[in-house]
Structure 1
């Protein structure tokens, strides 16, 4: 591929005239925006250890009362994007959120989609569009775009969860905003009760709900049981993984980011192929080593790391006698919608 001309090769008066007219010559920057073979990626392999993050989050509970914080979160920022950008990858935002006993995080709705992966504690809940979803460790709770949601805590110990939002891409599109609201009236029904078993759905199936997804809470007990059942049923299956989907359509649970739970058999090493989307790994149970490019991270429970797209990732269960369970978030739905999804093996 031949070398292109540089900006400094152009006469200064020509460059000044272009600038005055809000014009930019493409050819000096062409390789930056269209590099050969592999995209330019700012996302770096990055690791966040929960045992070092947690004390700082608990201190935030003392430093930032809820009426001053609204959402008490420590954002897990990827240094490749710059900490001020508050993004883990091009399309994913991560944050650890703390709710103390007796607190209420006020109701609001916003354009970015969000999910909550519960990390520790009992007794808290989130109400989404009037549906009150209890929080237990490993549960996944959706707050899709535009739906009212709030958080409350009736227990006696701190509750922490991992927020995953598509905030960076929505902000990039200049479509990110929030509307504050009042405390919600709750409904008796809950989607995870009606859609709790594979192969059994509410009748008649042709009458779909008016919601984007009839399920807002995916209990970890159900996902864990599904993984163990899949592993037992298919002992030769290499990647024991389930996808969080809309049970009415079979499509992704949300429309920009994808969510999965992966089980590593005792002592197993699994290579995940190089695909175009960036990925986030959060350890629910066990002890796992993640090899991402040249970085090797040892994940204990509640630790989180991220990987850039177009890179293979190798995960190893460090326990020889127990399975390990990993929650994964990625940008696959967005890549598929845009027609740029690739699996390079």
Structure 2
């Protein structure tokens, strides 16, 4: 993406000063589902809270919208024990932004997937409107920072599944107009073990033009590499850890981590026992490894809460991020690297995708290509 980046002469705008310490009002740490670490030296935990107050967490994946479909009644601002996420725990965990997944666990397929994704999107917007004191919809880095500065948690839409497009670029444009920011490139007819088809590459170019970020978790190595070659914007792996430490199929081998770092992408390490291990130390091992192999600007966090997966005992819900940061500080992580991990790297990807979209829109009209024309 270097050729396009050379053309981007950007000026400061809303969100450009996001990395300056701006306190996120999380309140006083109180006993709850994530009690203080029982250690005579509380210094690291206190430092973790102070650091997160200035550089809160941008969580790369939440299944909350799907989990809420199965509850007859809930109040996220008061607190909701039936799920892993609510406003009090988001504040306790210093979570200032979260990507709400529009994935469909039941996988209806075809045109039904388009409608089901729209239902999910509508539910997210309804939930956010119903909790205005704690949540706020956001689409870009500036709006995300504004929500944080107002004491709200910014909710960004995505990732959605690739089948949500119904193989239509028009549907992609409609989803973007409704606020979609991230789209998975796994599981569609135009992407697979052989990589992106011609239509798949056209989808990716249109995503670049619109500012929709590619999610490569679960995609084949050939799709990942072709995305790095074609895309003019950075990609995310919203639920991928280090395969060298745990051989889960969604985790990335070191060669792909190196390429991800070189392409300016982001590996968002999930807090799940299946992919990273049963303890907070296991999660920290993956963060250490990704930071070493891909670089400190290519690692971030993905809670994957409310997805039905088991979490490390110390990281049972969104309130527990300070415990993870405490472990990283004890390992000698610089505060600047922690700030990139929690907040700065996600902000950088959002800004870069938007800058690339503006440049693309000056060069390229909306694509009218169809899958029948290119892959038929």
Q: TM-score category by the smaller chain?
A: 0.3 to 0.5
Bigger proportion of residues as strand: 1
Higher RCO structure, 1 or 2 (CA under 8 Å, sep 6+):
2
Q: TM-score, normalised by structure 2?
A: 0.31
Bigger proportion of residues as helix: 2
* The structure with more radius of gyration: 1
